[in-house]
Amino acid sequence: MDIIMYDVLILGSGPAGLTAALYCARGGKKTLVLGGTTLGGQMAGIAKLENYPGFMGSGIELAEFMKKQAESFGAEIKFVSATNISGDAEGGFSILCDDGNRYVGRAVIIGTGASPRKLEIAGARELMGKGVSYCATCDGFFYYGKDVIVIGGGNSALNDALYLADIAASVKIVYRRDAFTRAEAILRNRVSERENIQCLFNTEMAKIEKTDDDKLKATTTDGAELLVDGVFVAIGHEANTDFLNEDVVRDNMGRLAPQNMPTGIYVAGDVHSELKMQIATAVGTGCSAAMDAIAYLNAKN
């Protein structure tokens, strides 16, 4: 097992982690990003990014640019995932990863982001990848000219519905409340203008079953049955913090409060408690965490 020492270890290669990497590297710190399995995190799944200032393109394009920019100042990026963190500020923090190596850093920035919350109804887990999906941009092309459902009512759900409306014959948005109060007005307006999108308010799903002709029968709590080809779920997120010890304080979404973290460990992006889950806020907290880490390391020298 190799043990490699760094000034700063950054967990996550989404906008928070890549921003932190840029700042730490420019601050003269030996910086390593442990980027998980996918560059860009959730940002990579955004087909058309419209609300990040100064950029119009896909999420993966922005992620690739951020990566190259951080690397140009000396940051290293490895696509491995942390499985355990141990140590303390004085002796450095040791991170064991799924590549079998242990990396040691004098400071750590956790920017591991969040993953889609799973739909907990009968059939949802069993049919995941067999008609039930949590990524419209990943799986939407399978449903060209077909009928699909999107479950949820926030920005993610409406963006998914609009993306699928360009591919599928019809899209039904199923939402448990009576209006899309959590979604941006521009998305609500676009949804209302699409002839092949239908909104089913005050509706909740009870179960999903496979039919003999390879379709899905989605049954609502009031007994209504919807026969479709695919179901896309967008009902929120949970922080990717399972690798941390059980004694680390988390909120009900698994997120971390900066004030509860040990000295020398900082949090950024969607894993940050009480943060609006946007690329702009992820970038902002990535910058702030990096500057705090740099100040902490400079004070120790």
Residues designated as active site? 135, 138-139
Tokens found for residue 260: 């509860």
Which pairs count as long-range contacts for 49-52, CB under 8 Å and 24+ apart, including other chains?
49/279, 51/278, 51/279, 51/280, 52/279, 52/280
Q: How many CB atoms lie within 10 A of CB 229?
A: 18
Q: How many CB atoms lie within 10 A of CB 90?
A: 9
Place of tokens 């409406």: 158
- How far apart (Å, rounded) are the C-alpha atoms in residues 264 and 297? 8
Tokens found for residue 264: 């020398």
Distances (CA, A) of 223 to 125, 204, 233: 21, 10, 20
- How far apart (Å, rounded) are the C-alpha atoms in residues 226 and 149? 9
Q: How many CB atoms lie within 10 A of CB 191?
A: 22
137 torsion bin: left (phi>0), alpha (psi -120 to 50), beta (else): alpha
Q: How many CB atoms lie within 10 A of CB 261?
A: 15
Nearest to residue 89, comparing CAs of 290, 267, 271, 261?
261
- CB-side neighbour CA atoms (13 Å) of 4: 17
